[in-house]
């Protein structure tokens, strides 16, 4: 039985906690650069309203206040200790009349499977790579530095880009734990680029670079209420990115607006001799896609609604139908299709990934040199079996399955690859778009974020990333609305190298819907 004094003290404590919680929530979005974009920050630099150092410090403070304390999003694995020094250099260059590129002074976060040759590690979220220092920058990091970006931090991810084992929880890594969704903290941020999506949405950075094999850019963009561009495979070099699939992997920008994502996309393109996939981009890549940010870009376009993902969530379906009405109002012709590629495409994709995963990981470990903490896939599997944390919630079945595969010269691999490309491209997206004379295909990107569950893993109800991912074709997701405060996106995908057309359509849609909402960090669904 509590004494009256003890009860009074407890009550006072609880009231104080509630007041502090309310105060914290009220202050979370009291941030001078809330929803800031590239154009706005650049104009402020030019006008002398603030410096790049000021902005960088503000984002670092916000990471400390929201990611490390407060809601503790856990979207950031490591902050760049040289961020302020880089900002100072960029300030000096700007004062001298030099601007490196469109990202000069813009804070950006990289998913932690993208190499940087600096004081930060590249870990893929794995304790096996803790402290691993790549011997050189990834091509993506090189291009971002050349464009003037401030590489602010490394983002948490689903460990090994969510291709380690069964029943994994998106956004969990052995090194950094579970990333939370900034809209409702008990819900999941989705996909392997979970930290990148949550950090952009929560205004911990202006931009992020994610990677996708199947869904890992568009799914976290969907769940975190932001824009994601998964480009054609080969448009952006993958050299220096910890791989899963040579056939399907790509990096891509994640931002709060399509304009910012498009400006970033142009800085990342180009042929890289270290990545043979980029050779095909020579006749297709642009260094500036901003000309396609056309508010009238929907006019006259012929679009197909891919209906297979519908029927799983009535409220998602309602938002999709509303989006279709918007596209028609803006001048598009919209038809419906119920299938794209044969079902067997998925089975072949999985086999291709397993073969390529083994080859790619072993090559990556070799790139780390003599001091690599892990030398091959055998060592990684052995490390996980001995580590006290790594296998706590889910297994490493995919690593083991990949390790058992024959080399990439095997008949089994070549057969699976040929089947995958034929089914997903010629018999898939290309066939559908040719038959119906389409400019783009649309579909709901995914469901509202599900509740995080470490024991049972992800509980995704719908998605549309596979057709474009398996084909290696582009996919752009744009927020189309929210369901009980949880955002949902609409995907625009199409032929190889059709980024300009997709940007036109997606931009017209975005500018006429403005569906992006700022997160409020609700503790649970009942708040």
CA atoms within 13 Å, Cβ hemisphere of 348: 23
Q: Which residues contact 226 (CB under 8 A, 6 or more apart)?
A: 197, 200, 201, 254, 255, 256, 479, 516
Which pLDDT score, from 0 to 100, does residue 517 have? 96
DSSP result, 295-360:
TTTTTT-EEEEE-TTTTS-HHHHHHHHHHHHHHHHTT-EEEEES--S-THHHHHHHHHHHHHHHHH
Which pLDDT score, from 0 to 100, does residue 460 have? 84
Which pLDDT score, from 0 to 100, does residue 407 have? 87
Active site residue 216: yes
pLDDT tens, 210-264?
999 999 999 999 999 999 999 999 999 999 999 999 999 999 999 999 999 999 9
Which pLDDT score, from 0 to 100, does residue 456 have? 94
Q: Which of 515, 510, 39, 516 is nearest to 296 (CA)?
A: 510
CB distance 474 to 230 below 8 Å: yes
The rounded mean pLDDT for the chain is: 94
The three-state (H, E, C) secondary structure of 368-389, written as one string: CCCCCCCCCHHHHHHHHHHCCC
pLDDT tens, 376-417?
999 999 999 999 999 999 999 999 999 999 989 999 999 999
Q: Give Cα separations from 380 to 158, 372, 383 (angstroms).
A: 16, 12, 5
Q: Give Cα separations from 155 to 128, 137, 467 (angstroms).
A: 17, 16, 27
CB distance 196 to 208 below 8 Å: yes
Given a cut of 50, whether residue 1 has pLDDT beyond it is no
Given a cut of 80, whether residue 14 has pLDDT beyond it is no
Q: Give Cα separations from 520 to 29, 335, 453 (angstroms).
A: 8, 37, 22
Question: Going from the N-terminus, what domains does the chain have, and what CATH number goes with each?
Answer: 38-513 (3.90.1300.10)
Mean pLDDT of 140-148: 98
Given a cut of 50, whether residue 303 has pLDDT beyond it is yes
Given a cut of 80, whether residue 25 has pLDDT beyond it is no
DSSP result, 238-283:
-TTB--S-TTT-EEEEEESSHHHHHHHHHHHBS-BTTBGGGGGGTT
Instruction: Give the whole-angstrom CA distance, residue 157 versus residue 196.
Output: 8
Q: Which pairs with CB-CB distance under 8 Å and at least 24 residues apart come from 347-350? A: 348/416, 348/417, 348/419, 348/420, 348/423, 349/214, 349/248, 349/420, 349/424, 349/466, 349/469, 349/470
Cα Rg for the chain, rounded, in angstroms? 23
Q: Which residue is catalytic, options 192, 239, 460, 464? A: 192
Q: Which of 256, 254, 157, 150 is nearest to 203 (CA)?
A: 256
Which pLDDT score, from 0 to 100, does residue 28 have? 86
Q: Parallel, antiparallel, or unpaired for β 475-483 and 227-230?
A: antiparallel
In a 10 Å sphere around its CB, with 0-12 CB exposed, 13-18 middle and 19+ buried, how is residue 8 labelled?
A: exposed
Q: Which of 143, 142, 136, 105 is nearest to 122 (CA)?
A: 136
Active site residue 2: no
pLDDT tens, 489-518?
999 999 999 999 999 999 999 999 999 999
Mean pLDDT of 289-307: 98
DSSP result, 210-243:
EEESSSTTHHHHHHTT-EEEEPPTTSB--TTB--
Q: Which residues contact 94 (CB under 8 A, 6 or more apart)?
A: 45, 52, 104, 105
DSSP result, 7-65:
HHHHHHHHHHHHHHHHHHHHHHT--TTTT--HHHHHHHHHHTSS-HHHHHHHHHHHIII
Query: Which tokens hold the place of 20?
Result: 């502090």
DSSP result, 76-141:
EEEE-TTHHHHHHHHHHHHHTT---STTTT-EEEEETTB--SSSS---TT-GGGTT---SS--HHH
List phi, psi (to 5°) of 197.
Answer: -65, -45
Given a cut of 80, whether residue 311 has pLDDT beyond it is yes
Q: Which residue is catalytic, options 173, 196, 216, 424? A: 216
Which pLDDT score, from 0 to 100, does residue 24 have? 61
Which pLDDT score, from 0 to 100, does residue 9 have? 30
pLDDT tens, 443-478?
999 999 999 999 999 998 899 999 999 999 999 999
Q: Which residue is catalytic, options 75, 111, 173, 230? A: 111
For 24-33, 81-90, 145-154, 501-510, which range has the lowest pLDDT when averaged over its residues?
Answer: 24-33
Output the pTM of the full model.
0.94
Which pLDDT score, from 0 to 100, does residue 26 have? 61
Active site residue 192: yes
User: How much of the chain, in percent, has pLDDT values that exceed 70?
Assistant: 95
């Amino acid at each position: 039985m509590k004494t009256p004094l003890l009860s009074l003290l407890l009550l006072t404590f609880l009231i104080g906690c509630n007041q502090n919680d309310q105060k914290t929530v009220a202050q979370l979005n009291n941030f001078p650069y809330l929803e800031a974009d590239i154009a706005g920050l650049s104009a402020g630099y030019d006008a002398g309203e603030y410096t790049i150092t000021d902005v960088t410090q503000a984002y670092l403070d916000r990471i400390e206040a929201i990611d490390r304390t407060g809601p503790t999003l856990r979207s950031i694995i490591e902050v760049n200790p040289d961020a302020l020094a880089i900002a100072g250099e960029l300030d000096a260059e700007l004062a001298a009349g030099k601007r490196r590129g469109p990202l000069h002074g813009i804070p950006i976060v990289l998913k932690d499977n993208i190499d940087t040759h600096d004081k930060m590690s590249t870990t893929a979220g794995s304790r096996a790579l803790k402290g691993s220092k790549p011997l050189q920058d990834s091509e993506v990091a090189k291009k971002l530095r050349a464009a003037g970006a401030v590489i602010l931090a490394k983002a948490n991810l689903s460990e090994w880009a969510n291709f380690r084992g069964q029943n994994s929880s998106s956004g969990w890594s052995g090194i950094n734990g579970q990333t939370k969704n900034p809209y409702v903290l008990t819900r999941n941020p989705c996909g392997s680029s979970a930290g990148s999506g949550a950090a952009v949405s929560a205004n911990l950075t202006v931009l992020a670079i994610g990677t996708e094999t199947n869904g890992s850019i568009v799914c976290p963009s969907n769940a975190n209420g932001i824009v994601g561009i998964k480009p054609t495979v080969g448009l952006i070099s993958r050299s220096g990115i910890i791989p899963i699939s040579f056939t399907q992997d790509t990096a891509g920008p994640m931002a709060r607006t399509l304009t910012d994502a498009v400006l970033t996309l142009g800085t990342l393109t180009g042929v890289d001799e270290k990545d043979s996939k980029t050779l095909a981009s020579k006749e297709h890549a642009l260094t500036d896609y901003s000309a396609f940010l056309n508010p009238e870009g929907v006019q006259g376009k012929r679009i197909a609604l891919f209906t297979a993902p519908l029927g799983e969530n009535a409220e998602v379906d309602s938002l999709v139908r509303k989006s279709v009405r918007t596209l028609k109002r803006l001048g598009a012709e919209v038809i419906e299709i119920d299938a794209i590629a044969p079902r067997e495409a998925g089975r072949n994709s999985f086999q291709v990934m397993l073969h390529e995963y083994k080859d790619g990981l072993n090559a990556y470990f070799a790139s780390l040199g003599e001091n690599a903490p892990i030398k091959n896939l055998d060592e990684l599997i052995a490390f996980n079996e001995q580590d006290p944390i790594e296998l706590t919630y889910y297994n490493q079945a995919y690593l083991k399955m990949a390790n058992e595969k024959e080399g990439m010269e095997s008949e089994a691999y070549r057969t699976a690859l040929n089947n995958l490309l034929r089914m997903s491209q010629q018999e898939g997206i290309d066939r559908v778009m040719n038959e119906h004379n389409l400019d783009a295909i649309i579909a709901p990107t995914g469901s509202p974020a599900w509740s995080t569950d470490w024991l049972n893993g992800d509980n995704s109800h719908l998605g549309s990333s596979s057709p474009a991912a398996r084909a290696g074709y582009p996919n752009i997701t744009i927020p189309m609305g929210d369901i009980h405060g949880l955002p949902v996106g609409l995907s625009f995908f199409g032929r190889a190298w059709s980024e300009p057309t997709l940007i036109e359509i997606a931009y017209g849609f975005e500018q006429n819907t403005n569906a992006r909402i700022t997160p409020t960090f609700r503790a649970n669904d009942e708040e």
